[in-house]
Structure 1
Amino acid sequence: MLVALSIVAGLILLVVGGELLVRGAASLASAFKISPLVIGLTVVAFGTSAPELGVSLQASFSGNGDVAVGNVVGSNIINVLLILGVASLVAPLVVSSQLIRKDVPLMIAASLAAWWMASDGMIVRWEGGVLFLALLAYIAFSVVASRKESKLVQEEYEDYTHSLTSKKDVVLQLAYLIGGLALLGVGSNLLVNGATKVAVALGVSQLVIGLTVVAIGTSLPEMVTSVVASYRGQRDIAVGNVVGSNLFNILCVLGLTAVVSPKPIPVAPSAIDFDIPCMVAVAVICFPVFATGNLVRRWEGALFVIFYIAYTVVTVLAAKGSPLIGPLGTLTTCGVLPLTLLTFAATLLIGRKKN
Structure 2
Amino acid sequence: MTLQILLLLAGLALLIAGAEWLVSGASSLARKFKISDLTIGLTVVAFGTSAPELVVNLFASATDHQDIFFGNILGSNNFNLFIILGLAGVLLPLKVQVSTVWKEIPMSFAALVIFYIMVHIPSPNGGMMLGRIDGFILLGLFGLFQYYIYRQIKEYTPPEAEHKPTGPLFKMIAFIILGLAGLVLGGKLVL
| Equivalent residues of 2:26, 2:176 under 8 A apart | yes
Number of the residue aligned with 1:99: 100
**Cα 1:163–1:102 shift into 2, 3 Å:** farther
Kept in 1, the 8 Å contact 2:119–2:129? The answer is yes
- Give the equivalent residue in structure 1 for 2:179: 180
Q: 1:103 to 1:42 in 2, by over 3 A?
A: farther
Q: Distance in 2 between matches of 1:143 and 1:26?
A: 17
What residue is the counterpart of 1:50 in the other structure? 51
Offset of 1:139 from its aligned partner?
1.7
What corresponds to 1:140 in structure 2?
147
Query: Paired residues, what number?
Result: 184
For residues 150 and 96 of structure 1, what CA distance do their matches in structure 2 show?
17
Q: Please tell me the residue identity of whatever aligns with 1:74.
A: G
> Cα distance, 1:11 vs. partner?
1.2
Instruction: Quote how far apart the aligned CAs of 1:5 are.
Output: 1.1
The aligned runs of 1:16-35 (5 Å cut-off) are: 16-35=17-36
Question: Following the alignment from structure 1 to structure 2, what is the Cα–Cα distance between the partners of residues 184 and 93?
Answer: 31
> Hey, what's the Cα distance between the residues in 2 that align with 1:112 and 1:135?
14
Which has the larger displacement, 8-17 or 51-60?
8-17
CA distance in 1, matches of 2:133, 2:117: 14
Alpha carbons 1:22, 1:43 under 8 Å: kept = yes
On the 8 A contact 1:35/1:143 being kept in 2, the answer is no
Shift of 1:137: 2.2
Amino acid at match of 2:107: L
Contact 2:22 / 2:48 at 8 angstroms: preserved in 1? Answer: yes
* Matched-pair identity in %: 39
3-state SS of paired residue (2:64): coil
What is the deviation of 1:17? 0.7
Map 1:288-307 → 2, pairs under 5 A: none
| Partner Cα distance (2:35, 2:141) in 1 | 20
Distance in 2 between the 1:98 and 1:29 partners?
25
* Partner secondary structure for residue 15 of structure 2: helix
Deviation of 1:162 after TM superposition, in Å, equals 4.4
1:58 to partner: Cα distance: 0.5
Q: Which amino acid aligns with 1:147?
A: K
Could you tell me which amino acid in structure 2 is paired with residue 6 of structure 1? L
- Matched residues in 2 for 1:185 and 1:171: separation? 21
Q: Shift of the alpha carbon at 1:61?
A: 0.7
| Distance in 1, Cα, partners of 2:47 & 2:68 | 20
1:189 corresponds to 2:188: yes
Task: With a CA cutoff of 8 Å and minimum separation of 6, indicate the structure with the bigger relative contact order.
Answer: 2
Task: Specify the alignment match of 2:40 in structure 1.
Answer: 39
CA distance in 2, matches of 1:129, 1:35: 30
For 1:170, give the aligned amino acid: L
CA 29–137 in structure 1, closer or farther in 2 if over 3 Å, else same: farther
Cα deviation, residue 34, structure 1: 3.4
Deviations 1:65-98 (A, max 9, x none): 1111111111101111111112222221222222
Contact in 1 for aligned 2:14/2:186 (Cα 8 Å): yes
CA distance in 1, matches of 2:166, 2:149: 23
Alignment correspondent of 1:252? none
Per the alignment, residue 70 of structure 1 pairs with 71
Shift in Å at residue 131 of structure 1?
Answer: 1.1
2:74 partner letter: V
1:225-240 residue pairs with structure 2 within 5 A?
none
Gap runs ≥5 in structure 2: 123-127
Question: What residue ranges of structure 1 are gaps of 5+ in the alignment?
Answer: 193-355
Contact 1:22–1:44, Cα closer than 8 Å, also in 2: yes
* Equivalent position of 2:119 in the other structure: 118
5 Å matches for 1:1-355? Answer: 1-119=2-120, 120=122, 121-151=128-158, 158=162, 162-164=164-166, 169-192=168-191
Q: Deviations over 1:82-126 (max 9, x none)?
A: 111122222212222222232211111111111111113111112
Q: Which amino acid aligns with 1:40?
A: G
